[in-house]
C-alpha cells in the first residue's frame, strides 16, 4: 500500500509537468492550428540556460529561472517571426509547419551540442530536504515541482480568461478574420502566444532538470509525452491537457510499480491508443478558451 501511494504521488507530480508542457502545445494548436515539433528543444534550452545562470554564474535560482524564461521566450519569438510567420499565409500550411518546426528542432539541438557539449550536466536541488508521512517518503523538490505546476497553470488560465491579451488571443483562435476587423494585430498575437508556449516548457525544464539532468537530447521524451497528452486530452483543450497529463503520470507510476521503468513509454502510448480507439477526438476535443 505504501509503494502504491508513493507511485501515485510520483505520477501526479510528473504528470503535472506533462500537463505544463502539453498546455503550451495546446495553446499553439488552439491559436495557430499547428503542432510545434521544436517544443522539446525550447524545454532543452530552458534547462541549459538555467544551468548556465544558476550553476555556472552562481545566480539565485529564482532570478535564474525568471531570466531563463525571458531568454527562451525571446528565442521563441524570433523563431516565430523568422520561420513560422512567413509560412502561415502560404499554401501548404498543414504540412509546412511540421517540416519547419522539425528543422528548428534539429538546428537548436545541434547548436546546444556545439555550445555546451555532449556531457550531461547536473543542477542541484533547489530545496534539498525530505518529508515523510504514513510511511511515504517525498522530497521537497518533488513537492515544489507540483506546487509550481499548479500555480503556473492557474496563472496561465487566469491570464487567458481575464487579461486583455487573453481575450484577444481567444478571439483570434475563434475567427482570425473577424479579430482583424476588430483591430486585433493577429501577427503579434501569434508571436507572443508562441513565446508563452516556450516559456511554459522552460518552467517544466527548470523544475525537472535537478532530477533528470541537462543534455542536448533532453527535450525528445518530454515532447513525445506532451504530444501524447494533447491527443489524449483533445487538441486545443487546456482542461484536456491538464487532465491528460496527470492521468498519464499516474498510469506510468502504476505501470512502473506493476512492471518496471522500461515499460514507461509502452504504457504511455498504450493509453494513447486506447483513448483514440474509444474517442478519436480525445477526452475534451473542443476548445476551452
Q: Domains of the chain, with CATH numbers?
A: 2-278 (1.10.3470)
Per-residue pLDDT band at 134 (split at 50, 70, 90): low
CA 264 vs CA 137, 239, 268: distances in Å: 22, 24, 6
Eight-state DSSP code of residue 130: E
Locus of grid cell 495557430: 32
What predicted TM-score, i.e. pTM, was given to this entire model? 0.90
On average, the pLDDT of the chain sits at 87
207 or 289, greater pLDDT: 207
Grid coordinates belonging to 106: 534539429
How many other β-carbons are positioned within 10 Å of the β-carbon of residue 174?
13
Eight-state DSSP code of residue 261: G
How much of the chain exceeds pLDDT 90, in percent? 36
> In 3D, which of 153, 132, 155, 156 has the Cα closest to residue 142?
132
Cα atoms in the Cβ-side hemisphere of radius 13 Å centred on 188: 8
Grid coordinates belonging to 234: 483533445
Amino acid at each position: 500500500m505504501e509503494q502504491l501511494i508513493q507511485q501515485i504521488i510520483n505520477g501526479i507530480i510528473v504528470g503535472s509537468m506533462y500537463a505544463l508542457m502539453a498546455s503550451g502545445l495546446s495553446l499553439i494548436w488552439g491559436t495557430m492550428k499547428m503542432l510545434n515539433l521544436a517544443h522539446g528543444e525550447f524545454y532543452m534550452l530552458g534547462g541549459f540556460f538555467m544551468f548556465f545562470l544558476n550553476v555556472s554564474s552562481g545566480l539565485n535560482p529564482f532570478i535564474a529561472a525568471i531570466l531563463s524564461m525571458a531568454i527562451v521566450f525571446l528565442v521563441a519569438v524570433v523563431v516565430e517571426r523568422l520561420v513560422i510567420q512567413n509560412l502561415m499565409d502560404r499554401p501548404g500550411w498543414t504540412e509546412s509547419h511540421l517540416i519547419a518546426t522539425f528543422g528548428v528542432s534539429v538546428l537548436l539541438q545541434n547548436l546546444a551540442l556545439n555550445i555546451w557539449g555532449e556531457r550531461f550536466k547536473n543542477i542541484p536541488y533547489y530545496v534539498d530536504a525530505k518529508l515523510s508521512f504514513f510511511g511515504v517518503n517525498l522530497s521537497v523538490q518533488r513537492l515544489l515541482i507540483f506546487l509550481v505546476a499548479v500555480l503556473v497553470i492557474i496563472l496561465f488560465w487566469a491570464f487567458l480568461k481575464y487579461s486583455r491579451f487573453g481575450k484577444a488571443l481567444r478571439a483570434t483562435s475563434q475567427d482570425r478574420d473577424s479579430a482583424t476587423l476588430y483591430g486585433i494585430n493577429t501577427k503579434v498575437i501569434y508571436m507572443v502566444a508562441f513565446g508563452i508556449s516556450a516559456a511554459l516548457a522552460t518552467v517544466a525544464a527548470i523544475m525537472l532538470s535537478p532530477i533528470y539532468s541537462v543534455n542536448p537530447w533532453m527535450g525528445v521524451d518530454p515532447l513525445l509525452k506532451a504530444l501524447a497528452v494533447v491527443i489524449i486530452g483533445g487538441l486545443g483543450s487546456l482542461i484536456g491537457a491538464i487532465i491528460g497529463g496527470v492521468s498519464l503520470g499516474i498510469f506510468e507510476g502504476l505501470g512502473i510499480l506493476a512492471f518496471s521503468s522500461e515499460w514507461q513509454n509502452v504504457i504511455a502510448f498504450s493509453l494513447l491508443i486506447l483513448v483514440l480507439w474509444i474517442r478519436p477526438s480525445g477526452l475534451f476535443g473542443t476548445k476551452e478558451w
